[in-house]
Amino acid sequence: MGFLVIFGYIQSIELSQIIGNNPSIYNIFISSLPLIRPKRLKKKEKEAFTISSDLKEILVGLILGDLYGRYRFGKTSFVFKQGINHQEYIYHLYDLFKNYCPSAPKISNSLPDTRTGKIYSSISFFTYTLPCFNELYVLFYNSSKKVIPNNIEELLKPRSLAYWIADDGSWNKVNKYVSLSTESFKLEEIEFLIKILNKNFNLSCYKSKNGTAYKIIIPSYSIFLLKNLLLPHMPKMM
């Protein structure tokens, strides 16, 4: 939620209303606001947080994608990060999770690439460190490394798949298929995911080698079914 000052009054508005189709407007808007220190939550305030079923389904998909979890002192936080070209998508995610966050998304620049000299920009935000996120962290992390939980069949819903694809999928225009970047997972985990995708959603996914690892392919002949499955859940900018 953002705040707009009109004639001395503060009106709350959604970030998506601020940026519309031009995310750069958001940066101008934020830079015009006074600097506010993030609120430090007390223990009881942290323990009062809960996750709705819809947001939990979204988190499952995001964890399968680029979302990063951190566990400290018995509580978990999540870091949302994308390239600057996906900033509208990040603002959409922030709209969903803003009540769990101490501050709005911020843009950062990398050090110059050692090979090309290019500087890459990204945009990110993070949540408070909260016990309500612990369940998902325990399921999806083993010694700080992402793993596929044994109960992924019951966790992976159509909304989860929509955000997994939005977060870490790509569209092959030539061959008309969707690929999921699963190269960080073990081969047996990828084969397990394929089995669940095909079983849960009646797709015909298969793996494709990418270097020494594998990605998941949702083939052209499953796209019509996939589109109807995800239409109610896919973020509009994706």
| E-strand stretches of the chain | 2-6, 9-13, 68-72, 75-83, 106-109, 121-126, 141-142, 145-146, 169-172, 177-180, 206-210, 213-218
Question: For the residues 6-33, what does the mean pLDDT come to?
Answer: 44
Domains 40-146 and 152-230 share a fold: yes
pLDDT tens per residue, range 111-158: 877 788 888 899 999 999 999 999 999 999 999 999 999 999 999 999
Q: Does the reported pTM lie above 0.75?
A: yes
**Mean pLDDT score across all residues of the chain:** 87
Q: Which CATH class is domain 152-230?
A: alpha beta
Question: For the residues 74-79, what does the mean pLDDT come to?
Answer: 96
127 backbone φψ class: left, alpha, beta (φ>0; ψ -120 to 50): beta
CATH number of 40-146: 3.10.28.10
Question: For the residues 201-205, what does the mean pLDDT come to?
Answer: 97
Domain boundaries, the chain: 40-146, 152-230
